[in-house]
Amino acid sequence: MGQYTPPLRDMQFVLYEMLDLENALRKLPPHADIDRETIDSVLEEGGKFCAEVLYPLNQVGDREGCKYQGDGVVTTPPGFKEAYARFVEAGWGALGMDPEFGGQGLPHVVHSAFMEMMNSANQAWSMYPGLSHGAYNALRAFGSPEQKSLYLPKLVSGQWTGTMCLTEAQAGTDLGIIKTRAEPRGDGTYAITGTKIFISAGEHDLAENIIHLVLARLPDAPAGTKGISLFIVPKFLPDASGNPGQRNAVKCGSIEHKMGIHGNATCVMNFDGAVGTLVGQPNQGLKAMFVMMNSARLGVGMQSLGLAEVAYQNSLAYAKERLQSRSLTGPKLKDKPADPIIVHPDVRRMLLTQKAYVEAARAFTYWAGLAIDREMKHPDERVRKDNADLVALLTPVIKGFITDNGYECTTLAMQVLGGHGYIWESGLEQHVRDARINMIYEGTNTIQALDLLGRKVLGDMGAKLMKFGKAMQDALKPLTENPAMQEFLAPFNALQSEVQKLTVEIGSKAMKNPDEVGAAAVPYLRIIGHLVFSFAWCFAAGVALRRLAEPATANDPFYQAKLQTARFYFAKLYPETAGLMQQARAGAEPLMALDATQF
Amino acid sequence: MGQYTPPLRDMQFVLYEMLDLENALRKLPPHADIDRETIDSVLEEGGKFCAEVLYPLNQVGDREGCKYQGDGVVTTPPGFKEAYARFVEAGWGALGMDPEFGGQGLPHVVHSAFMEMMNSANQAWSMYPGLSHGAYNALRAFGSPEQKSLYLPKLVSGQWTGTMCLTEAQAGTDLGIIKTRAEPRGDGTYAITGTKIFISAGEHDLAENIIHLVLARLPDAPAGTKGISLFIVPKFLPDASGNPGQRNAVKCGSIEHKMGIHGNATCVMNFDGAVGTLVGQPNQGLKAMFVMMNSARLGVGMQSLGLAEVAYQNSLAYAKERLQSRSLTGPKLKDKPADPIIVHPDVRRMLLTQKAYVEAARAFTYWAGLAIDREMKHPDERVRKDNADLVALLTPVIKGFITDNGYECTTLAMQVLGGHGYIWESGLEQHVRDARINMIYEGTNTIQALDLLGRKVLGDMGAKLMKFGKAMQDALKPLTENPAMQEFLAPFNALQSEVQKLTVEIGSKAMKNPDEVGAAAVPYLRIIGHLVFSFAWCFAAGVALRRLAEPATANDPFYQAKLQTARFYFAKLYPETAGLMQQARAGAEPLMALDATQF
């Protein structure tokens, strides 16, 4: 019923006009020869695959869902398996992966753009390859040469898929209290025993093997997070030639009934002495887990960007077509019984909120994708380190801010359709239900906020934050000469200096009372999110002003729209920061005063 | 799986300690003899019915949903019919209705409290009697004596149920373009022909007859909203003795598949020359419709209050039980593997947000219930008029602000449970899905905002708003002497004077450009919502301070909690108004600058 068109023009605006991608890649040796034509054709073909193969399966995936067939067998919704076969055949899973393991070696930033489109088309389906990607990252960083050569090519091709088995019934956020145990079998392998829950893609019928990355405790492990180790537990143990051999003692016990993402199997996984091999060093599992987790957190941000984009497209189409009531300033379509609802200011507020959040999120996430490329592939160690710092700082912001906004955006998209948005057939309410999980999994948004404020900002006395502040100022410097930019730079600069003050205030309160960090963290993350989006809209406005000053593009409505959307952002969304500042400063006392029994 | 305990103590706090209900009722002749014991026992028994009969059907109603059996037949989920029979038998539907028609004649404010509990227990089920209530209000106000005596006793007893048939496929918000027509049959009745959609409780198996109130156009009707008339169209035409007789030509064509409220049938209703009788005057249907609609809008506010309360109870229970991570200030339960998550500041923020919004919404809606009682039954005409004005002014705020907050609260409640909240079995995600419709139906929240700012505030040059401002100041006057109240009164007074300034500003801009109303309306409604909630928390804090100064209640944790929740409200929720003021003042230009093609 709905529609999805890959937003190629907007994607190209970010890649080439904001990130100056071709020049940026020239400085990264493995990508120095990649030109715009190659990237554009990847995005165009990838977009076709998403729009034509994945998107038509999105509603059926929601309606039919995955099914537990008993005895550990899970089937995916009609069409999922065929789409996955086409995905593997076309090599889409290998896009951003290392050529050493059969990947196509395209930059991460290009893969990010492809992920946006996959998630617009079908988040539930896209989680299957998404989890393989997380497993790939962890094994690539910490696996032994044997593990890498055995597993990575199959994960890269998509022949096998991966999972992250962290959560247990009593241990979600708090991985220090997991109970799953790993006992040496005397042959270098381990027997893994325990039950994991909420395992996305834990069992399915898409691939011939599933590679579980499992957190478990060795017999002599110290208590808490320092006693966690990471193991590879394949569904089928690879035989001598690396093909799926003996069935391992890991089995799906049931799947969850969820609010959304019905097309992805959320599994209870029972490990009953399953054979596993250790990844990296004993008791160092959390480090490997964080590699997976950070990759997953950026991926979750992309999921919400994707959902917000497709919801926006559908609410916009409705707002242009639906005739209902007259404009407050007088009839616009006099020959029709009513005007299209896009004439109404508040319908525009709902549309522009989506547009402004989506476009800034795209700039933010693609920028992060490029920063990861620089972190991994820049020849200059200092540049690698700087980019690693920025990615570390902003990963929780991408996860927390973009997923909160994604929920708001999909909720607004539904609202534009009125009662029709509440009906399954519209597809809009599914986007809300799917978007809802993104605020929860891979670390709730509260956890993201604590990670940002506690670990990433206060943890190094603001060093990474200052580095980011300087990076933004450097990027904006060429734009400051244009007096027309003042309108955008003034609020950005004001927010940046308020953030500095606020950070110092919280830091000094936190030294007396650690609860001050917990009390301020969530509004603080939203403020940082707005700082990033203010920067993105300054930069986009700067590009637009430059284009509008060039004869060839002087009247291009595309750039006019960018300029006006920047104005909308600063007029209607940025003001949220005024209240957030007060909330962040109000401290812990109003939260902690009540005894638990008084609630 | 979940739990619901009627919050009698909190309800009594509002009724007796904030509204001084016994004294208030003494001034209303029909209720002058009602004492607290009567009211308390009604709430206690009513609460039992809701918690023991309706609540256990809430999840099964969501899972099973209503079913369209073909040929116009709709069945409700298992247990709904039996619960409805018990409801009718016990006379719960007659609670607040007029004794002249078989009602129990209790004050509306008591009925409001009962409605809160019904909606906490089962919103989808409660919509069936809720719609009867709306039909009752319209017929009581505009029906002929014959219509009243034929229909009202059956609606009051619940033997028959009612509907509101307004929406058509092409006409939702814009009722002026409905196409359903009514042609005189020559015997004083009309033949009604057309198709209505989104008709809640349009068909079901709970009652022996369904009374549809239908908007339609007479042959000579003027165009637009001035040509709409209201008709009674019963499913079965009453026979000579007033019992269901001949089947009328109105039939359910299908039911919608929705995001939530699965237990309530949302019907396409086909009228094929169905026999109807005119209610009130020809072409005056909109007036009658507004009576139904205003009753429904207050009812929708109660729905979100009810959902937010039950979601809060369940997230609070989880937060006290779930052990996960240690307090930032050091372990609290040293003999356990982790602390209950209620030790974490941000979990408390999520709980207190719910608590502060729920308790203020309760005070606000019960106050409105009492204002309706005064409007209907006070002997002094001036008092009746004043209360009518306040109810008219605040109805869109109750609908818009409380349903937006209800969605936020149920979303936060889910978040407290983390991944477990996303699973059907928790019951939390159902509350979110159910709460979502409340922002849409009976006039979207944008429509509420336009009604508030355009019609209710600017429409009489702020007269009703000033009346409300004075009423709040009068109510707070006895509390101003206590210096401890300054902490609460200062922000309330600051907001009230900001609202006055803002209203004048918008009014003067709107005279030049009507889009300024549409642009400011939504943030304006939220600001007024906070003005009301600031007032409610000032008043509650004042009561609490007085109790805490009395020896008998000096250490009562109930009043300490009220005081701390008021502090939380002003520290963490009230600051939202700072951003809202900027958004409301940013005007229409940032919304209207883009051409529709540039989105």
pLDDT in tens, B469-498: 999 999 999 998 999 999 999 999 999 999
Kindly state the percentage of chain A with pLDDT values over 90.
98
Quickly list DSSP for A380-447: -HHHHHHHHHHHHHHHHHHHHHHHHHHHHHHHHHHHHTGGGGGBGGGSHHHHHHHHHHHTTSSS-HHH
Q: Which residues contact A578 (CB under 8 A, 6 or more apart)?
A: B575, B578, B579, B582
Res. B258: pLDDT tops 80: yes
Out of B323, B338, B440, whose CB is closest to A415? B440
Distance from CA of A530 to the nearest CA of B (A): 13
Angle between helices A36-49 and A80-90 (to 10 degrees): 160
A211 reaches B (C-beta below 8 A): no
User: What is the mean pLDDT of the segment spanning B327-333?
Assistant: 95
Task: Please check whether residue A165 touches B, CB under 8 A.
Answer: no
Q: How far is CA B364 from the centre of its chain?
A: 11
The confidence score (pLDDT) of residue B1 equals 66
Confidence check: pLDDT of A40 > 90: yes
pLDDT for res A256: 98
Q: Nearest CA to CA, how far is B60 from chain A (Å)? A: 14
pTM above 0.95, yes or no: yes
Chain mean pLDDT for chain A: 97
What pLDDT score was predicted for residue A597?
95
Under a CB-based contact definition with an 8 Å cutoff, are residues B413 and B481 in contact? no
Cα–Cα dist A338/B475, whole Å: 45
What is the arithmetic mean of pLDDT over B354-359?
Answer: 98
Helix or strand holding residue A51 (H, E)? none
Q: How far apart are CA B269 and CA B365, in angstroms?
A: 32
Residue ranges of B 335-364 with Cβ closer than 8 A to chain A: 337-338, 340, 342-349, 351-352, 355
Interchain CB contact of A513 with B (< 8 Å): yes
pLDDT, residue A1, reads 66
Partners of A522 on chain B (C-beta within 8 Å) are: 346, 349
In whole angstroms, give the CA distance from residue A63 to residue B257.
Answer: 11
C-beta of residue A591 within 8 angstroms of C-beta of residue A519: yes
Checking DSSP bridges between strand B209-216 and strand B160-165, what pairing results, if any? parallel
Ramachandran category for residue B102: left, alpha or beta (phi over 0 → left; psi -120 to 50 → alpha): left
**Between the CA of residue A482 and those of A336, A487, A550, A567, what are the distances in Å?**
45, 10, 14, 16
Residues B597, A514: C-beta atoms closer than 8 Å:
no
Residues in chain B closer than 8 A to A328 (CB atoms): 514-515, 517-518
Average confidence (pLDDT) over B536-557: 97
Test A515 with B590 for CB contact under 8 angstroms: no
Sign, Cα dihedral of A580, A581, A584, A586: negative
Residue of A187 and B288 predicted with greater confidence: A187
Preferred mutation among A258, A450, A594 to probe B, highest tally of B CBs within 10 A: A594
In three-state form (DSSP H/G/I as H, E/B as E, the rest C), the secondary structure along A206-243 is: CCCEEEEEEEEECCCCCCHHHHCEEEEEECEEECCCCC
A599 to chain B, any CB pair closer than 8 A? The answer is: yes
Chain B touched by A595 (CB under 8 Å): yes
Confidence of residue A422 (pLDDT cuts 50, 70, 90): very high
Disruptive mutation site among A1, A166, A322, A346 for chain B (greatest number of B CBs within 10 Å): A346
The verdict on A225 touching B (C-beta cutoff 8 Å) is: no
| Residue B210 confidence class, pLDDT cut points 50, 70, 90 | very high
Determine which helix (DSSP H) or strand (DSSP E) holds B243, and give its type and residue range: none
Q: Is the dihedral of CA A493, A497, A503, A505 positive or negative?
A: negative
- In this predicted model, what pLDDT tens digit does every residue of A531-573 receive, in sequence order? 999 999 999 999 999 999 999 999 999 999 999 999 999 999 9
The conformational region for residue B105 under phi > 0 = left, psi -120 to 50 = alpha, else beta, is left
Mean pLDDT to the nearest integer, B60-72: 98
What's the CA gap between A81 and A289, in Å, rounded?
29
Single-letter residue type at B298? L
pLDDT, averaged across chain B: 97
> Which of A13, A355, A422, A502 to mutate against chain B (most B CBs within 10 Å)?
A422
- Residue B407 near residue B432, CB atoms below 8 Å: yes
Strand B67-70 relative to strand A266-279: parallel, antiparallel, unpaired?
A: unpaired
Tell me if chain B has a CB within 8 Å of the CB of A320.
Answer: yes
For B224, the token pair is 């637009």
Residue of A nearest to B571 (CA): A586
**Proportion of chain B above pLDDT 70, given as a percent:** 100
Banded pLDDT at A295 (limits 50, 70, 90): confident
In terms of C-beta density within 10 A (0-12 exposed, 13-18 middle, 19 or more buried), how is residue A597 classed?
A: exposed
Render pLDDT for B142-188 as a digit per residue (tens, 0 to 9).
999 999 999 999 999 999 999 999 999 999 999 999 999 999 999 99
Cβ of A582 and B583 within 8 Å?
A: no
How far CA B199 is from CA of A167, B62, B173, B286, B528, in Å, comes to: 44, 18, 14, 17, 31
- Give the residue from B59, B348, B522 with the most A CB atoms within 10 Å of its CB, the best one to mutate: B348
CB contact under 8 A, B422 and A440: yes
Q: Which of A116, A309, A375, A442 is catalytic?
A: A442
Provide the residue count of chain A. Answer: 599
Please name the residues between 273 and 302 in chain A that touch chain B, using a CB distance below 8 Å.
none
Q: Is A448 on the interface with B (CB under 8 A)?
A: no
Which positions of B are catalytic? Answer: 442
Contact B264, B255 (CB under 8 A): no
Determine the pLDDT at residue A236.
Answer: 98
**What whole-number distance in Å separates Cα of residue B290 and Cα of residue B267?**
21
Q: Is the pLDDT of residue A293 over 90?
A: no
The DSSP call for residue A13 is I
Placement of tokens 């409905």 in the chain: B178
Whether A498 and chain B come into contact, CB under 8 Å, resolves to: no
Structure ipTM: 0.97
Q: Tell me the CA distances in angstroms from B168 to A79, A497, B173, one per residue in order.
A: 36, 53, 10
Q: Between chains, do B418 and A514 touch, taking CB under 8 Å as contact?
A: no
Query: Any CB–CB contact under 8 A between A174 and chain B?
Result: yes
Residue of chain A whose Cα is closest to the Cα of B312: A599
Please judge whether A415 and B445 are an interchain contact, meaning their C-beta atoms are less than 8 angstroms apart: yes
In the residue annotation, A442 being an active-site residue is answered as: yes
Contact flag A436-B446 (C-beta cutoff 8 Å): no
Q: Do A324 and B171 touch (CB under 8 A)?
A: yes
